[in-house]
Amino acid sequence: MFLAGTVAAAVLMAFTPIGRRIAHQVPIAWLVLFQAFRLPLELVLHDWYLSGTIPKTMTWTGSNWDIVSGVLACLVFAFVDKRYWLAWLFNIIGIVLLLNVGRVALLSSPVPFGWDVEPKLELILHLPYAYIVPLCVGGAALGHAMLTHRLLSD
């Protein structure tokens, strides 16, 4: 519920007057490059897996391939201002990968229908790990919502 609420709040924030203003004033390339934060985030998640904090499923060696979003952001941001189709493609891939993160996080947590993984994903119960949902997942959702709004408007 925390994850769903965070994503919903982030998406709604993108369509407030401030969110719309930012989406229209910031170059599309910057809206794409913003998602590059997902690359170092995935490196941190991999380190947390190696230290036994999170299950392998939450890394690129498991079922979370969100690192692709960060890499793609770094590769395509310079080209998207003149090639809107590339911005759309990047945005769609990023949204799908973000949805996959939510799926993997849910199934890696201690829910009755979850995967049999150890340790269970319980970041929400421990600070500062709990900040990953509102700051990182919410930030990625906000960024994608703003980029979507901008692309639809243009």
Write the pLDDT tens digit of every residue in 118-127.
999 998 888 8
Task: Write down the residue that tokens 């994608």 correspond to.
Answer: 144
Structure tokens at 29: 């390339």
pLDDT at position 101 over 90: yes
pLDDT of residue 117: 96
Contact 73, 40 (CB under 8 A): no
pTM above 0.95, yes or no: no
pLDDT of residue 78: 95
pLDDT at position 94 over 80: yes
pLDDT of residue 1: 76
pLDDT digits 0-9 by tens, 126-152? 888 888 888 889 999 999 999 999 999
- Residue 141 to residues 101, 107, 110, 136, Cα–Cα distance (Å): 11, 20, 24, 8
Separation between Cα atoms, residue 143 and residue 38, nearest integer Å: 11
- Residue 93 to residues 11, 90, 115, 153, Cα–Cα distance (Å): 17, 5, 25, 20
pLDDT of residue 5: 83
Measure the N-to-C terminal CA separation of the chain; round to a whole number of Å: 34
Q: What is the mean pLDDT of residues 60-88?
A: 95
Structure tokens at 69: 């979003």
